[in-house]
Chains A and B, each alone.
Chain A
Amino acid sequence: EAQVTQNPRYLITVTGKKLTVTCSQNMNHEYMSWYRQDPGLGLRQIYYSMNVEVTDKGDVPEGYKVSRKEKRNFPLILESPSPNQTSLYFCASSFMPGQGDTEAFFGQGTRLTVV
């Protein structure tokens, strides 16, 4: 089954304690990205990656890092989480532009609370 898998689904942490949210896809997609969802703001892109070792900032990258060492995995790293990073996070993957404008596939989401 084609899917994007995120872990964990729920996470409560304290300010400053480093954490990683994992994302894995099994569709051989080149393009992966992270979004955060906040009430009234829809989804905003944090980081994206066009292929292995190729990453770039989205619209709201401050306080986040990513890596793309393998095609299927795209972890999101919060080196020093702060309460304003409390949000619902989604990982998405798709084929690259120019290969047909196919839709993005989303993970189930990770609800992060930073206290």
Chain B
Amino acid sequence: AQSVTQLDSHVSVSEGTPVLLRCNYSSSYSPSLFWYVQHPNKGLQLLLKYTSAATLVKGINGFEAEFKKSETSFHLTKPSAHMSDAAEYFCVVSDRVGTGRRALTFGSGTRLQVQP
């Protein structure tokens, strides 16, 4: 069975400082991994995805993530936080869990606060 653990439920940073949101996963197969962002009262927007190509993945708005198979991690980073980055972030693993079924398993989310 696949699972996703987001290690921090809340992260607070100052504007202009680096962001690190941590994610560990488990999967029986070779998963695809995603980070989604959810702004207040909005739907989920894809930030970036890993699908077994380059292990360092660049996404929108300056975010990137590195897939580390040995550590089963897919941490999200950004060099310099902006006020508009304040949102909830979800790490997601996508894998086949049976005949035809593709399951997206979500982490419980990390709420990022950016202080001025």
Interface residues, chain A, CB within 8 Å of chain B? 4, 31, 33, 35, 40-45, 48, 50, 56, 58-59, 90, 92, 94, 96-97, 100-101, 103-104, 106-109
**Bound CA span A107–B108, Å:** 19
In the bound complex, do residue A43 and residue B90 qualify as a contact, i.e. CB atoms below 8 Å apart?
Answer: yes
Indicate which residue in B32, B44, B45 contacts A101 across the interface (CB closer than 8 Å).
Answer: B32
In the bound complex, do residue A92 and residue B104 qualify as a contact, i.e. CB atoms below 8 Å apart?
Answer: yes
Q: Residues of B contacting A97 with CB < 8 Å?
A: 96, 100, 102
Q: How many residues of B contact A (CB 8 A)?
A: 24
**Bound CA span A92–B106, Å:** 13
B69 at the interface (CB under 8 A from A): no
In the bound complex, do residue A45 and residue B96 qualify as a contact, i.e. CB atoms below 8 Å apart?
Answer: no
In the bound complex, do residue B43 and residue A103 qualify as a contact, i.e. CB atoms below 8 Å apart?
Answer: no
Also in contact, A109 and B43, with CB within 8 A (given A50-B100, A97-B96, A101-B94)? yes
Tell me, rounded to whole Å, the shortest Cβ–Cβ distance linking B49 to chain A.
6
Query: What 0/1 pattern do residues 34 to 76 of B give for CB contact below 8 A with A?
Result: 1010000011111001010000000000000000000000000
